[in-house]
Amino acid sequence: MNSTISSNQRCRIAVDAMGGDYAPLNAVLGAVEAYNHSDSFDLLLVGKETEIKKVISENNLDFNSENIINADEVIEMGESPASSLKTKKKSSIVIGAQLVRDKNSDAFVSAGNTGAMMAASTLITGRIKSVGRPTIGAEMPNVNGICYLYDVGSSKDSKPVHLFEYAVMGSIFAKEMGGIINPKIGVLSMGEEEGKGNEVSEAASRLLKQTKLNFIGNVEGRDILAGEVDVIVCDGYVGNVLLKFGEAVPKLLKYLLKQTADTNFLDKLKIGITKGTLKKALKSLDYQEYGGVPLLGINGISIIGHGSSTPKAFKNMVLRADEMYQKNLVQKLTNSIIEYSNQIDKAEING
Amino acid sequence: MNSTISSNQRCRIAVDAMGGDYAPLNAVLGAVEAYNHSDSFDLLLVGKETEIKKVISENNLDFNSENIINADEVIEMGESPASSLKTKKKSSIVIGAQLVRDKNSDAFVSAGNTGAMMAASTLITGRIKSVGRPTIGAEMPNVNGICYLYDVGSSKDSKPVHLFEYAVMGSIFAKEMGGIINPKIGVLSMGEEEGKGNEVSEAASRLLKQTKLNFIGNVEGRDILAGEVDVIVCDGYVGNVLLKFGEAVPKLLKYLLKQTADTNFLDKLKIGITKGTLKKALKSLDYQEYGGVPLLGINGISIIGHGSSTPKAFKNMVLRADEMYQKNLVQKLTNSIIEYSNQIDKAEING
């Protein structure tokens, strides 16, 4: 057996130890726990070596310091993504993206500056050939489990061909990672009839209709939660607004509940029970369970975490990166984009 | 005192008796109840005279049949708005819109075909001069009361100047009808910083900045519920998707709660209490409380109700129309659009 192929079969996952509000503690704790939990991948920790070593020793972690990749700089949360990539070439985000570009790692996971991570993945690691725009999705709960919404990653002013790409990549992700056979795909719109979308969404529908994807047409805002469609595509501006609106709902509920409480004991008791039950019911919305979201369309695995990621969230992000590697997701996305693009009239893609 | 002016001072409200799922019953019951409840306006019931008379007699209502305006046709819920206006010139929606156009009524209220009602108001009654696009808003609950979201009325592919108009009209509505002094206005975006919107929203921000409106800049999806901004403007496609998504949340909550119920008695009891408390807490979202939404920018009062409007919803729509008349809202909108347009560089409006 060829030794090069053999060594490539074991997944290598680089984790940005400097990313997130509690860096490097949470990143190191979570990543090393995932590493100890599984023997299918190698782990690289990217960041300030002395700080990483300190966390390892203080927490008595079992981790070989040869697998620390030193990065002297950190791109802070508030920094401009575009300029920080240029000015901080020794940052953990730049070095992590380079590791994947140079095939020294298969995946890069970071809970650092989201914009910088997206830019580094796109510009340094690079896109899959024939993907115009990489995309981030959100897993929205519904009565059947999950609906995948693409794009929520601020990819604004998308063109119809981008929505087509989101549909292809979202469909592959829902199938491979969500276990949904032949996912139903819809384009977000104001009504189910044709013509109820905007210019871009209607043009995207015309592209999707030409493919062999399981495209069901226009879907509405309520369908995100209704469970009749598996993958919904929209412009990143719309998806981002929806996602943030949805995230704010539990807080409003809590407030409204408080408002209904009269002064009597029984009402207060009821509110207490309601809060507890709701918390349990909303557990499926907890980001820690899935950890972070992959940026699809990158020529490698790129996973972006929430700034406030806990060790558990980091652990789940690393395990997800490993699963994406084991399922050969990047290759499948590459093949699918080519396959479905070939089913479309080329003049219409560019038009 | 001039008798013409005097007769004009008493508000006349026309109600589409044939609109809504339970027509003419709910429309007639609710409108007549509002009429009996107040002595500040006259009521006109528009629709099939024999059917309206039947409801009046069967329910022993006190209503003068001289105030029934016969309309032999009904535009059904599924019909195409554009073509139905042409083919059904004797429909209640067409005749109601004409009543306002011809100053034989000050307001028209309908829970019929929404698209047809919007088209009839815009094309038959007509727009306020210098309003490019009339707009429908939604009253979203937040921790301070209400945030007004414009547009949610399917006015898709809006141009920057339309978002400017939504902001002006929404601001006047929030002030006059919502009692909010100097309403804070935001443009829906992906982040609070400049440049976080899409092309249209960023251009709209540049227009709003030039005015003396209380414009606070970009706001995010979560801000709709957070209570820090009073009026949020966005394209109708985005607003419509958000509104329908929000409306579907209680149903998902109910499902998630059911899922958390184990088989034991205590858990079931808790779920029961939670459902009851939630229902009470979510009462402020009940559309029946406000009845229907006005289409702002029409040269007259136009209120569009939910297809499933109850008598209570109709009553509240009629009372709202009366309040809009008493507050001289149409004239104030007309003046404001001119006033704030004059504060903007004209080249930029058309650009």
Q: Residue A284: its chain B contacts at CB < 8 A?
A: 256
Burial class (CB in 10 A: 0-12, 13-18, 19+), A38: middle
> Radius of gyration of chain B from Cα atoms?
21
Model confidence band, residue A2 (pLDDT cutoffs 50, 70, 90)? very low
d(CA B73, CA B120): 15
The share of chain B scoring above pLDDT 70, in percent, equals 92
Average pLDDT over residues B147-153: 94
- Flag the least confident range among A73-77, A78-82, B24-28, B183-187: A78-82
Whether residues B270 and A273 touch (CB distance < 8 A) is answered with: yes
Residue B7 half-sphere exposure toward CB, CA atoms < 13 A: 5
Strand partners, B82: none
Pick from A162, A196, A222 the residue to mutate for testing the B interface (most B CBs within 10 Å).
A222
pLDDT(A282) > 60: yes
SS3 label, residue A25: helix
What residues does B187 pair with on adjacent strands? B218, B233
Q: Do B273 and A276 touch (CB under 8 A)?
A: no
Integer Cα distance of B195 and A176 in angstroms:
36
Q: Exposed, middle or buried: residue A347 (CB in 10 Å: 0-12, 13-18, 19+)?
A: exposed
> Is the domain of B215 the same as that of B273?
yes
Find all residues with CB under 8 Å of B346, minimum gap 6, and list them: none
CB contact under 8 A, A241 and B220: yes
- CB atoms < 10 A from the CB of A137, how many? 26
Please provide residue B72's backbone torsions phi and psi, each rounded to the nearest 5 degrees: -75, -25
Give how far Cα B77 sits from Cα of A336, B18, B20, B93, Å: 41, 11, 8, 12
pLDDT digits (tens, 9 = 90+) for A83-104: 999 999 999 999 999 999 999 9
ipTM: 0.88
Q: List pLDDT tens digits, range B159-190.
A: 999 999 999 999 999 999 999 999 999 999 99
Q: Which residue has the higher pLDDT, A153 or B86?
A: B86
Instruction: Assign residue B176 the CATH number of its domain.
Output: 3.40.718.10
Residue A338 lies in a domain: no
Chain A residue numbers touching B233 (CB-CB < 8 A): none
Contacts of B139 in chain A (CB under 8 A): none
| A270·B276 Cβ contact <8 A | yes
For A187, nearest residue in chain B (alpha carbons): B241
Can you read off the two tokens belonging to residue A327? 């399922």
Mutation target among A196, A225, A268 for the B interface, most CBs of B within 10 A: A225
Same domain, B45 and B92: yes
Mean pLDDT of chain B: 91
Residue (of A136, A74, A128, A104) closest to A14 by Cα position: A104
* Reduced 3-state DSSP string for A38-83: CCCEEEEEEECHHHHHHHHHHCCCCCCHHHEEECCECCCCCCCHHH
Which of A190, A244, A281 is nearest residue B220 as measured by Cβ atoms? A244
Asked if residue A340 belongs to a domain, the reply is no
User: What residue type is assigned to position B147 of the chain?
Assistant: C
B152 to chain A: closest CA residue:
A190
Q: In chain B, whose CA is at the least distance from the CA of A196?
A: B154
- Same domain for A123 and A155? no
Give yes or no for a contact between A262 and A216, defined as CB atoms under 8 angstroms apart.
Answer: no
Same domain, B202 and B305: no
Establish if A78 belongs to a structural domain: yes
Distance from CA of B254 to the nearest CA of A (A): 9
Residue from A135, A86, A87, A111 nearest A24 by CA: A111
Tell me, yes or no, whether B156 and B187 share the same domain.
yes
Q: Report the C-alpha gap between B148 and B144 in whole angstroms.
A: 12
CA distance A59 to chain B (A): 36
pLDDT given for residue B273 in this prediction: 74
Instruction: Give residue B177's identity as a one-letter amino acid code.
Output: M
Q: Is the residue at B220 inside a domain?
A: yes
Which one is predicted more confidently, A6 or B100? B100
B154 to chain A: which residues are within 8 Å by CB? 190-191, 196
B146 and B280 within one domain: yes
The verdict on A88 and A141 lying in the same domain is no
Q: Where are the alpha helices (DSSP H) in chain A?
A: 3-8, 25-37, 49-58, 81-87, 92-101, 114-120, 160-176, 199-209, 223-226, 236-260, 265-281, 287-290, 311-326, 329-341, 346-350
Residue B124 near residue B295, CB atoms below 8 Å = no
Predicted confidence at residue A314, as pLDDT, reads: 96
pLDDT of residue B106: 98
Residues A69 and A148 in one domain: no
Tokens found for residue A333: 């996305």
Q: Is the pLDDT of residue A254 over 90?
A: no
User: A216, A240, A242: which is closest to A228 by C-alpha?
Assistant: A216
- Whole-number pLDDT of residue A290: 66
Say if CB B144 and CB B223 are below 8 A apart: no
> How far is A73 from A85, CA to CA, in rounded Å?
11
Task: Note whether B232 and B149 are within 8 A (CB).
Answer: yes
- The answer to whether position B337 is within a domain reads no
Chain mean pLDDT for chain A: 91
Closest C-alpha among B231, B90, B95 to residue B168:
B231
Q: Which of B280, B270, B224, B220 is nearest to B250 (CA)?
A: B280
User: Is residue B346 left, alpha or beta, with left meaning phi > 0 and alpha meaning psi from -120 to 50?
Assistant: alpha
Provide the domain count of chain A: 2
Which chain A positions have a beta carbon within 8 Å of B280's beta carbon?
260
Cis, peptide link before residue A151, omega less than 30° from 0: yes
A166 phi/psi in degrees, rounded to 5: -60, -40
With a cut of 60, say whether residue B7 has pLDDT above it: no
Contact flag A141-B220 (C-beta cutoff 8 Å):
no
> Is position B349 within any domain?
no
Taking CB atoms and an 8 Å limit, are A252 and B225 in contact across chains? yes
**Does one domain contain both B25 and B103?**
yes
Contact B237 A276 (CB under 8 A): no
| Distance between CA atoms of residues A93 and A110, nearest Å | 7
- Indicate whether A321 and A222 sit together in one domain: no
Mean pLDDT of A273-296: 72
Selected for mutation to probe chain A from B113, B149, B225, B262 (highest A CB count within 10 Å) is B225
What secondary structure, in 3-state letters, does B170-213 show?
HHHHHHHCCCCCCCCEEEECCCCCCCCCCHHHHHHHHHHHCCCC
Looking at A237, A261, A287, the residue that finishes a domain is: A287
Facing residue for B273 by CB, picked from A249, A253, A270: A270
Same domain for B193 and B100?
no
Render pLDDT for B202-230 as a digit per residue (tens, 0 to 9): 999 999 999 999 999 999 999 999 999 99
In whole angstroms, what is the distance from residue B137 CA to residue A207 CA?
A: 32
For A241, counting Cβ atoms within 10 Å of its Cβ (0-12 exposed, 13-18 middle, 19+ buried), the class is buried
Residue-range definition of the domain harbouring residue B154: 136-286
Question: A-chain residues within 8 Å CB-CB of B141?
Answer: 252, 256
Question: pTM for the complete prediction?
Answer: 0.90
Residues A169 and A93 in one domain: no
B185 is a domain residue: yes
Q: Which helix (H) or strand (E) holds B216?
A: strand B215-219
Q: Is residue B340 part of a domain?
A: no
